[in-house]
Amino acid sequence: MRTFTSFLMGAALLCSAATTQAQSLEFRGVKANARYDDGETSHNEYLGWDYETGKAKFKVDQGVWKLSVTADTVTSEVVYGDNLMYANSGAVYVNDTIVTVYSRESDDDATKMEFKVRWWKAADGELIREATFPKEANLESRGMSYNPVDRKVYGLFYFTDVALPVPTDELDPEDVQQGDTTDAGYALATIDLNTMEITKITPGIYYDNFVTLACAPDGRIFSMTSSGTLVEFDRTTGLIKTRTVENENGEKEEVNLYEPSGVKSQFKRQAACFDYTTGKMYWNGFVNNGMGYNDWGSYGPLSDKQWRTNRKYDTALYEVDVETGKATLISGIMNRPSLACMWIPGKDGSLPTGITAPVSKSSNGVSVYNAQGMNVYNGPAAGMNLKKGMYIVNDGKSSKKIIVK
């Protein structure tokens, strides 16, 4: 008999039917998908021919979008586009830098998959560099997020060939021959955005349909699942936090921290982030799970032909209370975008990718680091003569971000 241990949970997110009055907020995010009112998933415009480069010029919507929240309305627009800014395997924003991960067929062997990783300047979409990694790098994620407490980037990555936590002698010989001593699933891990090296934390794997990941200002790590479940991960063990309850048989059992509600999203790429000035979590989720009853009373996928009325592709912005698990609908989003990552400009709390722990080298002054993590100045604060750009200034006690214009 095939046996294996899995980490499971059955709680779902509490979601109120009423909307909430939101303060005026502006979000940025990398487009994963969209659905315009005309039914198209992308809007590209031919701008003419560039005789200098010998190429056609297009205005594209694959890139960074802006979500603007005013009262209870969320509008969307394209900030800048680049067809290479595609993130079907995940993306993350860390202090003016966007990293996108794109899985595709290998140029050398169409039977093999590989990851194309690109680093971008978030301000204008300028491509910084790109690199290719093999499938074995395990760069497919359901979300990545910068953690301000330990200054690491965390992600829920898809691992393959993970050894199951079951002794081989407890397995049926036929199962062992079939390779059932290993399996694939998701685990919490950290990632070095310079090398894209992943360090797995979760001892096993989870089989849940995670759709995003977000780190709070206090370092707590949260995820959403397609069933609408809010879960919290232990940063040290990589395990989902639980609480002990007594079941109907009087036995003690571990369940998820948050109570179920039956509200469901979809198992498609989504995004979440925190406002570091308020500690609130925001989630770009779907209005429904894409399932429903047809005219004959059968339950199944909602009709694609009736997507305007059944709201199959509608996305929304939710505010999530990480203490109660309650999610409150702010509004549906114009053009129905789903994002691969999202952030609130100026309220994300991140530090430059290359800086892990700035330490002042000046006993009576400050140390200054540029966006690449290089130490560019040590001395009195009044003596700084910096070029235009973003810097981290450390006085030996604390660090702060400054922008020289």
- What's the pLDDT score for residue 3? 28
- What's the pLDDT score for residue 204? 86
Burial of 118 (0-12, 13-18, 19+ CB in 10 A): buried
Domains of the chain from N-terminus onward: 14-343 (2.120.10), 366-404 (no CATH)
Nearest to 20 by CA among 340, 328, 379: 328
- What's the pLDDT score for residue 182? 75
* Strand locations in 82-178 (E): 91-93, 97-105, 113-121, 127-134, 141-147, 152-163
- CA 32 to chain centroid: 11
CA angle in degrees (0–180, nearest 5) for 242-12-326 = 90
- What's the pLDDT score for residue 11? 34
Q: What is the pTM of this model?
A: 0.78
From CA 211, how far away is CA 283, in angstroms rounded? Answer: 10
Tell me the three state secondary structure of residue 176.
helix
From CA 206, how far away is CA 187, in angstroms rounded? Answer: 6
- What's the pLDDT score for residue 164? 65
- What's the pLDDT score for residue 130? 94
Question: How high is the mean pLDDT in each 10-residue block of the chain (405 residues)?
Answer: 30 41 82 94 84 78 95 92 94 94 85 92 93 94 94 94 60 49 88 94 91 94 91 95 90 85 80 92 93 87 92 94 89 96 86 42 63 66 77 73 80
- Residue 46 — φ and ψ, nearest 5°? -75, 125
Question: Please, are residues 183 and 164 in contact by the beta-carbon 8 Å criterion?
Answer: yes
- What's the pLDDT score for residue 317? 95
All residues at 6 or more sequence positions from 362 whose CB lies less than 8 Å from its CB, including other chains: 378, 379, 380, 396
Nearest to 32 by CA among 342, 261, 294: 342
In Å, how far are 131, 175, 258, 290 from 229, measured between CA atoms? 35, 33, 8, 16
From CA 288, how far away is CA 216, in angstroms rounded? Answer: 26
What long-range pairs does 389-392 form, CB within 8 A, spacing at least 24? Answer: 390/95, 390/96, 390/352, 392/351, 392/352, 392/355, 392/358, 392/368
Q: State both tokens at 127.
A: 């491509």
- What's the pLDDT score for residue 23? 64
From CA 166, how far away is CA 122, in angstroms rounded? Answer: 45
- CA 311 to chain centroid: 24
Q: State both tokens at 207.
A: 């089989």
Question: Please, are residues 144 and 92 in contact by the beta-carbon 8 Å criterion?
Answer: yes
From CA 187, how far away is CA 156, in angstroms rounded? Answer: 5
Cβ density class 28-49: b for 16+ within 10 Å, e for less: bbbbbbbbeeeeeeeeeeeeee
Rounding to the nearest 10 degrees, give the CA dihedral for residues 14, 20, 24, 30. Answer: 30
From CA 111, how far away is CA 144, in angstroms rounded? Answer: 28
Q: Is 63 left (phi over 0), alpha (psi -120 to 50) or beta?
A: left
Question: Please, are residues 317 and 282 in contact by the beta-carbon 8 Å criterion?
Answer: yes
- What's the pLDDT score for residue 237? 95
Question: Please, are residues 64 and 85 in contact by the beta-carbon 8 Å criterion?
Answer: yes
In Å, how far are 55, 145, 154, 191, 400 from 142, measured between CA atoms? 35, 11, 11, 13, 30
